[in-house]
Amino acid sequence: MKRFWALALALAVIMPAMAQFRFGVRAGLNVNSLHFNKEIFDENNRAGFTGGVMAEFTVPIIGVGADLGVMYVRRNSQFMQTLADKTTEVQNLNSDYIEIPLNIKYKIGIPAISSILKPYIFTGPSFAFLTSKKHIENFVHDKTCDIAWNFGLGLEFFNHLQVGASYGLGMTKAFQAVNLAGDAAGIEGKNRYWTVTAAWLF
């Protein structure tokens, strides 16, 4: 038992000393869709973009770590409503955010190729704060904070370039419809989006 605790103490001291801290830049594209709580609207996927800075912490031996980013994000959405006269009304909703994603990351070291190619998986929350205030007047109001949970995977090349893809599952309301009556009253929507990014870590 004494040996176990001695080993645990040694690891607790050694691991932080061996941990790697790196900083970098990241940019990419996202495809956003809105999911409504009522089947009143039809929605189309729309492309947006993201860019910013990130920091990564990794424990080399076990490959577990975390990354934290500060990203500018543009999410574009389009939804359609069929009116009483059978005509279709199309609305575009373009929202700008400062997003802070925090992910737990696991890098899978394959001995023969780990210095060239290293797969990784990650998951964690993101907190997006609205900066644009571009709502559709008297119809849709954006929420100031959008919280999502991300699931993703990627590849790291030559210990510097990371290319990843993730799915963001909106956990809070991204917008709320206002001044609507009947079946459309109380409409709320959540963002769900795919994101593909490339990052260079120094």
Please write the tens of the pLDDT for every residue from 137-178.
555 667 789 999 999 999 999 999 999 999 999 998 877 766
Q: What is the pLDDT of residue 133?
A: 65
Tell me the CA distances in angstroms from 139 to 14, 89, 91, 184, 195, one per residue in order: 57, 12, 10, 11, 28
Please report, for the chain, how many H helices and E strands are present, in that order: 1, 11
Determine the average pLDDT of the residues in 80-100: 74
Q: What is the pLDDT of residue 60?
A: 78
Phi, psi of 115 (to 5 degrees): -75, -15
Q: Which residues contact 150 (CB under 8 A, 6 or more apart)?
A: 101, 103, 122, 123, 124, 125, 126, 166, 167, 168, 169, 195
- Of 55-59, 124-128, 129-133, 172-176, give the lowest mean pLDDT range: 172-176
Percent with pLDDT over 70 in the chain: 70
